[in-house]
């Protein structure tokens, strides 16, 4: 299955036009082969993907409570490009129009997320359930199915209820585990009869690292030596704690899912978002050896744990006491806790071995003992970067990443949840 974000489709059409210049006598070059469904096996799904906060808007309707990103973008507008999700693309009111656009594009699937505070405005069932919010997702899912589009539903796409952030720090606290399981179990019971593809967490590496180690995404926490604008946080510590609580929450949610009778016949996993790595200097054996370490930190951090039941050994060796430990029971629940590997792929980078990290200023990137480089030792860029792209395009990295996952994790089912640029 391939799920591509909506804006990418228009981009591909634009690139096709730009790549085929014409003069009065006709095309300069013969037309290239066009992408066709015939190039893919029968049953291959093409789709589009969104996240609730990015598209829904309507933050004051259906009794929706405030989410982490609502407060973050109000508190730090400069970090959100002075934008917010108050209206977004108004998907809440216009989803039927958008579904018709998907249908006109001949897509098979739609990846969406449920906004936790639209279901539980205050984060917990005991504090109230928004029946209007529950009904909105029923209506949305029903409309998709009516139009022949298969829903893929993400339980958590970074929109922690702000009430839980204020009460105990959200995913910084182990208290999130009980609350997340309750929320996940509720949506499984509510929608599990019609939704057969579930993602517990979207891009947990980005959520933990960008939100709690470098302060570039909500809630914007980090140490001042990483970003002077960060007012709170502890780099090199909090990202590991957040992921630890997130992974335990995942295991609890999966246990609830597998006990859900109406969910039978469905599948559940996590959407990972690793980069691929190439050696910065092919003549340097340390750069070559750093690739596996880089992948353990960006992918194995979560995928090793949900496959084998614990963190990669290299992370334990390097991070030491800053990396929390799982109990025997938690390891058992985490092992084989996914039915598929969700994969978001966008770009690749060069891995440059870091010889002497500064132990007084820990951070996730430094712990991996590498620096990410966009150019190699010979000053060549990895892939290409079209004018319309935010990141370098390196399709070979996609293939390499797929093979790496196949070989290391015993050929699991892989669902491509996002790709492009």
| Neighbouring-strand partners of residue 199 | 154, 269
d(Cα 247, Cα 207) in Å, to the nearest integer? 12
Among candidate residues 190, 238, 252, 418, the one labeled active-site is 418
Count of other CB atoms within 10 angstroms of residue 282: 12
> What residues contact 11, with CB distance under 8 A and at least 6 apart?
388, 420, 421
Give the 3-state secondary structure of the chain: CEEEEHHHHHHHHHHHHHCCCEECCEECCCCCCCCCHHHCCCCCCEEEECCHHHHCCCCCCCCCCCEHHHHHHHHCHHHHCCCCCCCCCCHHHHHHHHHHHHHHCCCCEEEEECCHHHHCCCCCHHHCCCHHHHHHHHHHHHHHHHCCCEEEEEEECCCCEHHHHHHHCHHHCCCHHHHHHHHHHHHHHHHCCCCCEEEEEECHHHHHHHHHCCCCCCCCCCCCCCCCCCCCCCCCCHHHHHHHHHHHHHHHHHHHHHHCHHHCCCEEEEEECCCEEEECCCCCHHHHHHHHHHHHHHHHHHHHHHHHCCCCHHHHHHHHHHCCCCCHHHHHHHCCCCCEEEEEECCEEEEEECCCCCCCCCCHHHHCCEEEECECCCCCECCECCCCCCCCECHHHHHHHHHHHHHHCCCCCEEEEEECC
d(Cα 163, Cα 68) in Å, to the nearest integer? 9
Say whether 203 is catalytic: yes
Count of other CB atoms within 10 angstroms of residue 353: 20
Among candidate residues 203, 238, 252, 373, the one labeled active-site is 203
> Active-site residues: which are they?
203, 418
């Amino acid at each position: 299955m391939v799920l591509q974000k909506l804006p990418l489709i228009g981009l591909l059409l634009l690139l096709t036009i730009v790549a085929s210049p014409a003069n009065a006598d006709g095309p300069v070059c013969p037309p290239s082969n066009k992408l066709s469904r015939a190039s893919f096996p029968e049953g291959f799904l093409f789709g589009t993907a969104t996240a609730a906060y990015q598209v829904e808007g309507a933050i004051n309707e259906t009794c929706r409570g405030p989410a982490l990103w609502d407060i973050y973008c109000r508190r730090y507008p400069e970090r959100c490009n002075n934008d917010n999700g108050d209206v977004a693309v108004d998907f809440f009111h216009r989803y039927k129009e958008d579904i018709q656009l998907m249908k006109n594009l001949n897509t098979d699937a739609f990846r969406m997320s449920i906004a936790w505070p639209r279901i539980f405005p205050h984060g917990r069932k005991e504090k109230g359930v928004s029946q209007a919010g529950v009904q909105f997702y029923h209506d949305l899912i029903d409309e998709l199915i009516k139009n022949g589009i298969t829903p893929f539903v993400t339980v958590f796409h970074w929109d922690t209820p702000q009430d839980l952030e204020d009460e105990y720090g959200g995913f910084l606290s182990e208290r999130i585990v009980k609350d997340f399981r309750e929320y996940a179990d509720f949506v499984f019971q509510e929608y599990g009869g019609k939704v057969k593809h579930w993602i517990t967490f979207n891009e947990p590496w980005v959520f933990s690292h960008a939100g709690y180690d470098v302060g570039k995404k909500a809630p914007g926490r980090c140490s001042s030596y990483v970003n002077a604008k960060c007012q709170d946080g502890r780099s090199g510590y909090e990202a590991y704690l957040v992921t630890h609580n997130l992974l335990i929450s995942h295991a609890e949610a999966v246990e609830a899912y597998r006990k859900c009778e109406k969910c039978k016949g469905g599948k559940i996993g996590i959407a990972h978002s690793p980069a691929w790595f190439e050696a910065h200097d092919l003549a340097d054996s340390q750069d070559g050896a750093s690739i596996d370490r880089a992948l353990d930190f960006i992918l194995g951090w979560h995928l090793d744990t949900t496959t084998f039941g614990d963190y990669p050994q290299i992370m334990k060796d390097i991070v030491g006491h800053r990396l929390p430990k799982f109990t025997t029971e938690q390891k058992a629940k985490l092992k084989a806790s996914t039915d598929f590997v969700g994969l978001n792929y966008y770009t690749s980078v060069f891995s440059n071995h870091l010889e002497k990290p500064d132990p007084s200023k820990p951070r996730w990137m430094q712990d991996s003992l590498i620096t990410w480089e966009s150019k190699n030792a010979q000053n060549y860029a990895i892939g290409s970067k079209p004018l319309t792209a935010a990141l370098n395009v390196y399709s070979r990295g996609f293939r390499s990443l797929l093979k790496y996952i196949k070989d290391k994790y015993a050929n699991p089912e892989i669902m491509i949840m996002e790709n492009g640029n």
